Amino acid sequence: MKYSDGRIVLWAAICVDASDPSSATTDGLVQKRMERAALHARIVVADDFAPIRVGLKALLGDTVCGEAANGQEAVDKVLELHPDLIVLDLSMPVKDGLEAAKEIRALAPQTKILIFTLYDSVSLRAEAFQAGADEFLCKNSPSGKVLETVNALVQRCSIHAPIRHGSPETLL
C-alpha cells in the first residue's frame, strides 16, 4: 500500500518504510530486529484483519504473546495473558476497540493500550484517550514510529504525552 507522502507499508511479511530506504536492505532489517530485540515485554495484538496481525507480529517478534480477532477476544487475552501492552484496532466485530479499551482499563489498569487504526480525527482521538488509551497511532505510520511508540509504552513513558483533559484540538 502506498501513501501520498511516499511511505509504503507491506504488512504481510515485514514493514518497510520508503522514507527510510535502509529499512528495505539487509542492514535495515537487522537494525529493525535489534530495535525489536530491545523490547522485553509481553504484547497482545488485536485486529480483525489477519494481515495486520501478521505484520505486527513480524515487526514486534517474540514480544507478541497473543492475538485477538475481535474486541471480546482482546479483553479475554488480556485477562488470560497479563500483557504489558495491547495493540488494539478500533473497528472490530463483537466488541469495538473503544469498548474493549474501557473494559481493559478497568480490569487490567497496568496494561498499556495502544490504539492502532486506519481512522483518525480529533474526536476519535479524544474518545480513545477517554476510553483509557495511552497512545494513538494510524496504521499508515512508518514501522520505525510503531517501534518507537511501543518501546516508549513498554518503558512506561510516553514519547508525546497525550493531553487528555484539554480541548479535543490539543489531541492532534
pTM (global) more than 0.85: no
- Give the model's pLDDT for residue 172: 47
What 3-state class would DSSP assign to 88? Answer: strand
- Give the model's pLDDT for residue 2: 38
- Give the model's pLDDT for residue 167: 38
> 149, 7, 131, 30: which is closest to 71 by C-alpha?
131
76 grid coordinates: 479475554
> 5, 15, 30, 45: which is closest to 142 by C-alpha?
15
Q: Is the four-CA dihedral 64, 58, 75, 106 of positive or negative sign?
A: positive
What are the average pLDDT values for consecutive 10-residue runs of the chain, which has 172 residues? 39 42 47 51 96 95 95 98 96 96 97 95 96 96 93 68 41 46
- Sorted by where each starts, the structural domains of the chain and their CATH numbers stand as 21-171 (3.40.50.2300)
> 1, 91, 101, 102: which is closest to 48 by C-alpha?
91
- Give the model's pLDDT for residue 32: 56
